[in-house]
Each structure stands twice: as structure tokens, then as C-alpha cells.
Structure 1
Amino acid sequence: MDVIVTPTPNLQGEIGALSSKNYTTRYLLVAALAEGTSTIYYPAHSEDSDAMRRCIRDLGAILQEDDEKIVVTGFGRQPKDVKELDVGNAGAVLRFLMAIASLCPDVTFINRYPDSLGKRPHGDLIDSLTAMGVEIEHNEGKLPIRIKGGKPRGGHIQVSGNISSQFLSALLFLTPLLEEDSEIEVLHDLKSKVVIGQTLEVLEQAGIVIHASEDYMHFKVPGNQSYQAREYTVQGDYPGSAAILAAAAVTNSNVIVHRLMENSKQGERAIVDVLKMMNVPLTHENNIVHVKGNTQLKAVEFDGDHATDAVLAMVAAAVFAEGTSRFYNVENLRYKECDRITDYLAELRKAGAEVEERQAEIIVHGRPEGLPGGVEINAHYDHRVIMALTIVGLRCEQPIRIKDAHHVAKSYPNYFDHLQALGAQVEWVEA
């Protein structure tokens, strides 16, 4: 399905933020790794979190869900012997479960998205697991991946952090269950450190002890630990809400978003600070963000490494700012569902934006008067690109058509419903 975005001068109304995908997938995993029954309140529903639901069920967890909560009876340190796992297009789910699957005798992760997840590299995690005694067959570090595990070893483990922090998170979920104590050393730079903070927060809530250095480059993990069955409440999602807030910022709007914690560990919380820097009238109190868009935006410079999943929305807002904006330290955007620098900027140019790329930077020469639009745009099957291009479409002179916009369901299935509720003119059409 495609979406046609028609210029919309203002947005108005209130919505509740969707629940965090990152926290939901992590809570589901630690609940599955516990022996006993855990309850997760307000879990996210998206393709990614549904992929984690499906896979932990295949591995032996029992799930019961209603409108408010999901109850998970875990399999502990003994996942079921399964032959195949299907993570869909969910990279984080794949990487976390590659580590957990090393406790199984023989599992193959299949490749259902050869043009998206199938192109993403996982070699750094494969190297770490191989060094821990796990036999892995793979396609040059990519799917399909067959893991012959059973008894991974702890000890001194090295993992590269310069492609993704998800490889480190995967090891942090696995190593507490091993017989030996482990010491994890991160090689090179570590991308998205703030997301490691989320992983450590969830592990601590699940009763796991991990000693982390201040810079997150060294970890000591005692072995023979057990995950505890607990109750968890999922907070509102900043990465998805970033697109809603940016859409409000670039239009004459009066928009309120509930359930966004001021003290959240989500790095994408920075969207609030960046929009303030861009001169957007905005308040953030009592877990409520209130945006009054004024279309008089200022350019910004921002280190995007700590807010990876909000950068594309920030860039979309900067397209309409006065002056030149620069988003730097964002090379890891290249290793997502698509190359979120080259591919995204190519589509922005189609709509009339003036943008440049470096290996690790996005430079935006703002056009406060708006863009011509009137084009068909390829979102490269990427949910974040779809959301960001929609923001741009609200300020184009002519409608834009976004191809395959249904892939927004990967993280935010009701994104367009929420925009329509605020008054945005967006319409689903057959491809």
C-alpha cells in the first residue's frame, strides 16, 4: 500500500504515545529467560515486537495477552529445541536471539526479507559467538544463519561496537546464564551507547547483576545467574513520537502527546531538546509534551549518535529551518533497514530539499518557504524513512506519494491513524 500526503497547514489535538518497541522487545526476552511468570503492562504492538513474541513462543515461552498486558511464562536457561526461527525484518530481535539460540543444539534463522534485513551484516556477533565455542554457518555474515550451539563458554569475550550496539546487548542477555564468569571487552568505538543503558536498565529490573565501566567499554558478568519473574510497565516511545512532534513543529499546530517520560533513558528523548533549539514553542511537564508549531524554525547542529532513531525526523524538520543544519556522528544510520543517509537524502531531493551527505554526516540547507513536492517517493521499505518523508509532505506545495508505506508497521502501525486524528491529510491508496 502507498500513502498520498497532501499539504496540511496545521495539526491540532491530543494523542497518547505508542509504547516503546525497544523496551517491549527487551522485557519480552527477559521474561522468557526467567523461570516463572512475568507480566508486562502496555506492551507495544509492531512487527518487531510481534517477531519477538513469535520467536520466544517457538522457543518454549507461554504467552497470554489481553488489551492491557501480556503474561509470559518463561523457559529459563533451557529454550526448546527448534529447527527454524523467523524474525521477519527485525534486526534487533535477530541479534538478541542469535545469542540465546546458542543455548540450542541447532537453529536456522531464515531470510524472509532479502532486500532489507537480508542485506544487513552480523559478522561482529558471529565472531564473538564463534570464539565462545558456538559453530555458525552463514552467508558472509548475513542471513540465513545456522547456529549449532548447546554449550557456549564464558570467559574473556571481545565484540566490536562500531557497527551496532545490538551485538553487545545480545551478549549481555546471554552471558549471565553461562557457567563461567564473563568479561566483555568492546573493541573500536561503541555506537548508540544510550541503548546499552536501556539494556542494562532492563537486566537490572530482571534481577541480573552486571558490572559496567563508565564508558560501557568493559563489562564483568558473574555466571550462573537466573532471570527473575517480575512485573514491568512499558514507557511511551520516543523514536516514533519524534516523527509526530516534528510534524507538529513544521506546521502551525497545537499538539499534545502523552506518556513521554522526562527522565527516560531513551536517547531519542533529545527530539524535545532539538526542537527547542530550533525555536519551536514547546513544554515538557508531567510526561506530556505540548508543541505549538510556528513554522519559524532555526538551523541546528546535533550529534546524532545518542538519538539514532530520531535523526531522520530531526532532518525532516531542518528541511524547513532558516539556515544550514548539520547532523554528525551518524554513520550507523547507513546500516539500518536501508542506508538511511544515501537513500533518505535521495528521496528528499526528489521532493525539492537541498541536502548533502558525508560518510557520517547529513547537511541540510533549509527552505523555510517549503518544497515543491508533487513526486512519487521510494521509502526503501524503511519505517523511519516513511515517517520522516511524511513530515516533509505536510509542507510541500503539491502532494507526494510514498511507496510501500505499509512498512511503517515495523515500529508504529497506527502512525497514519494518529496523524489523521490530528488533522493531517494522508490517504492510503493501492500500489
Structure 2
Amino acid sequence: MDVLVTPTPKLSGEIQALSSKNYTTRYLLVAALAEGTSTIYYPAHSEDSDAMRRCIRDLGAVVEEDEEKIVITGFGGAPKDVKELNVGNAGAVLRFLMSIAALSPEVTFINVYPDSLGKRPHDDLIDALQQMGVEVEHREGKLPITIRGGQAKGGKIKVSGSVSSQFLSSLLFLTPLLAEDSEIEVLHDLKSKVVVGQTLEVLEQAGIVIHASEDLMHYRIPGGQTYKAQSYTVQGDYPGSAAVLAAAAVTESDVTIHRLEEKSKQGERAIVDVLRMMEVPLTHDNGVVNVKGNGKLKALEFDGDAATDAVLAMVAAAVFAEGTSRFYNVENLRYKECDRITDYLAELRKAGARVEERQSEIIVHGRPEGVEGGVDIDAHYDHRVIMALTVVGLRAKAPIRIHDAHHVAKSYPIYFDHLKALGANVEWIEA
């Protein structure tokens, strides 16, 4: 399905932030790894979290759900012997479960999105698992991937953090369950340290002890631990809300979003600070963000590493700012559902934006007068690209059509419903 975005000068209204995808997937996993029954309140509903639900069920967890909560009876450290797992297009779910599959005799992760997740590399995690005695069959680090486990050993493990922090998080979920103590050393750089902080927060809530160095590059993990069954409450999602906040910033608006904690450990919370730096009128009190946009924005420079999943929305806002903006330290955007630098900027140029790329930078020469629009745009099967391009379409001079916009469901299935509720002129069109 495609979406037609027609220029919309004004937005107003109130919405509840979606629940966090990152926290939901992590809570689902630690609940499955617990012996006993856990409850997760206000879980996210998206393709990613649904993929985790499906996979932990396949691995032996009992999952019961109503409108408010999920109740999970876990399989502990002994997942059911399954031959195949389908993670859909969910990279984090794949990477987290590659380590958990090391507790099973043999699991093959199948490749159902060859043009998206199927292109993403997982060599760094494969190398770490092989250090632990796990046999991995793969295609140059890509799907399909077969894990032959059952004999995983702790000890000294080295993993690169330069492509993704998800490889480290994956090992942190597995190592407490092993008989031996483990030490993990992160090599090179560690991308998205804030997201590792979320993993450590969830593990601590699940009763797991991990000794992390202050710079998050070294870890000591006692072996023989068990995950405790707990109750968890999922907080509101900043990455998805970033696009809605950006849309409010570039239009005449009075938009309120509830359930966005001021002290959240989500790095994408920085969207609020970035919009403030761009001189967007807003308030953030008691978990409520209110934007009274006037369509006027100032350019800025921003280190995007700690707020990876909000950078595309920030760039969309900067398209209409006065001056030149620079988003740096963002190379890991290249290793997502698509190359979120080259592919995204190519589509922005079609719409009339003036943008440049470096290996790890996005440079935006703002056009406060707006962009032309009037074009068809390729979303590259990427939910973040879809959301950000929609923001640009709201302020274009002519409608833009975004192809394959249904892939927004990966993280925010009701994104367009929320925008419509705020007055945006967006409509679904058969491809």
C-alpha cells in the first residue's frame, strides 16, 4: 500500500504515545527466559514486538494477552527444540535470539525479507558465538543462519561494537544462563551506548547481576543465574513520537503527546532537546509534551549516535530550518533496514530538499520556504524512512506519494491514524 501525503498547514489535538518497541521486545525476552509467570503491562504492538511474541511462543513460552497486558510463562534456560524461527524483518529480534538459540541443539533463522533484513550483516555476533563454542552456518554473515548450540561456554569473549550494539545486548541476555562466569570485552567503538543502557536496565529488573565498566566497554557476568518472573510496565516510545513531534514543529500546530517520561533512558528523548535548540515552542512536564509550532526553525549541529532512531525525523525538521544543520556520528544508520543515509537522502532530494552526505554525517541546507514535492518516493521498506518522509510531505508545496508505506507497521502500525487524528491530510492508496 502507498500513502498520499497532501500539504497540511495546521495540526492540532492530543494523542497517547505508542508503547516503546525497544522495551517491549526486551521485556518479552526476559519474561520468556524466566522460570515462572511474568506480566507485561501496555506492551507495544508492532511487527518487531509481534515477531518476538511469535518466536518465544515457538521456543516454548506460554503467551496470553488481553487489551492491557501480556502474561508469559517462561521456558527458563531450556527452550523447546525447534528447527526454524521466522523473525520477519526484525533485526533486533534476530540478533537477540541468535544467542538464545545457542541453548538449543539446532535452529535455522529463515530469510523472508531478502531485500531488507536479508542484506544486513551479523558477522560480529557470529564471531563472538563461535568463541563460545557455538557452531554457526551462514551466508557471508547474512541470513539464512543456522545455530548449532547446546554446548555454549562462558569465559572471555570479545565482540565488536562498531556496527551495532545489538550484538553486545544479545550476549548479555545469554551469558548469565551459562554455567561459567563470563567476561565480555567490546572492541573498537560501541554504537548506541544508550540502548545498551536499556538492556542493562531490563536485565537488572529481571534479577540478573552484571558488572559493567563505566564506559560500557567491559563486563563481568557471573554464571549460573536465573531470570526472575516479574511484572513490568512499558513506557511510551520516543523513536516513533519523534516523527509526530517533528511534524508538529514544521507546521502551525498545537499538538500534545502523553506518556513520554522526562527521565527516560531512551536516547531518542533528545528529540525534545533538539526541537528546543531549533527554537520550536514546546513544554515537557509530567510525561506530557506540548508543541505549539509556528513553522519556524533554526539550524543546529547534533551528535546523533545516542538518538539513532530519531535522527531521520530530526533531519526532516531541519529540511525547513533557517541555515545549515549537521548531524554527525551517524554511520550506523547505514546498517539498518536500508542505508538510512544514502537511500533516505536520495528520496529527500526528489522532494526538493538540499542535503549532502558524508560517511558518518548528514548535512541539511534548510529551505524555510518549503520544498516542491509533487513526486513519487521510494520508502526502501523502512519504517523510519516512511515516517520522516511524511513529515516533509506535510510542508511540501504539492502532494508526495510514498510507496510501500504499509511497512510503517514494523514499529508504529497506527502512525497514519495518529496523524489523521491531528488533522494531517494523508490517505492510503492501492499500489
TM-score range, shorter chain: over 0.9
Question: Equivalent residue for 1:122?
Answer: 122
Cα shift readout 1:388-431 (whole Å, capped 9, x = no counterpart): 00000000000000000000000000000000000000000000
Q: Which runs of 5+ in 1 are unaligned?
A: none
**Is the partner of 2:189 in helix, strand or coil?**
coil
1:172 counterpart = 2:160: no
State the match for 1:239 in structure 2.
Answer: 239
1:19-98 alignment runs, 5 A limit: 19-98=19-98
Secondary structure of residue in 1 paired with 2:397: strand
Q: Provide the rounded CA distance (Å) in 1 between the counterparts of 2:245 and 2:362.
A: 20
Amino acid at match of 1:242: A
Number of the residue aligned with 1:331: 331
Rounded Cα–Cα distance in structure 1 between residues aligned with 2:151 and 2:368:
59
Encode CA deviations 1:66-98: one digit per residue, 9 max, x unaligned. 000000000000000000000000000000000
CA shift for structure 1 position 294: 1.0
- 1:109 maps to what in 2? 109
Matched ranges for 1:244-259 at <5 A: 244-259=244-259
Q: Is 2:298 the partner of 1:294?
A: no
Q: CA deviation at 1:151?
A: 1.9
**Deviation at 1:296?**
1.2
Structure 1 partner of 2:274? 274
Q: Which amino acid aligns with 1:424?
A: A
The one-character-per-residue Cα deviations of 1:358-409 (angstroms, maximum 9, x if unpaired) are: 0000000000000000000001000000000000000000000000000000
Q: CA deviation at 1:305?
A: 0.1
For 1:151 and 1:275, locate their aligned partners in 2 and report how far apart those are by CA, in whole Å.
50
1:192 aligned residue: 192
State the secondary structure of the residue aligned to 2:344.
helix
Aligned-pair distance for 1:175?
0.2
Kindly provide the CA deviation profile for residues 4-56 of structure 1, in whole angstroms up to 9, marking residues without a partner as x: 00000010000000000000000000000000000000000000000000000
Q: Counterpart of 1:187 in 2: which secondary structure?
A: strand
The one-character-per-residue Cα deviations of 1:142-172 (angstroms, maximum 9, x if unpaired) are: 0000010002000000000000000000000
Q: Where does residue 143 of structure 2 map in the other structure?
A: 143
SS in 2 for 1:253: strand
Cα deviation code 1:122-148 (max 9, x no counterpart) = 000000001100001000000000010
Question: CA–CA distance in 2 between the matches of 1:334 and 1:126?
Answer: 20
State the AA in 1 paired with 2:141.
G
Gaps of 5+ in 2: none
Q: 2:25 is paired with a residue of what secondary structure?
A: helix
Residue type of the alignment partner of 1:371: V
Task: Give SS of 1:99's match.
Answer: helix
SS of residue in 2 equivalent to 1:175: helix
The RMSD of aligned alpha carbons is 0.2
| Residues in 2 aligned to 1:342 and 1:294: alpha-carbon distance in whole angstroms | 30
Which amino acid is the alignment partner of residue 241 of structure 1?
A: S
Distance in 2, matches of 1:327 and 1:358, equals 10
SS at match of 2:306: helix
Matched position secondary structure for 1:219: strand
TM-score, scaled to structure 2: 1.00
Q: Distance in 2 between matches of 1:361 and 1:90?
A: 25
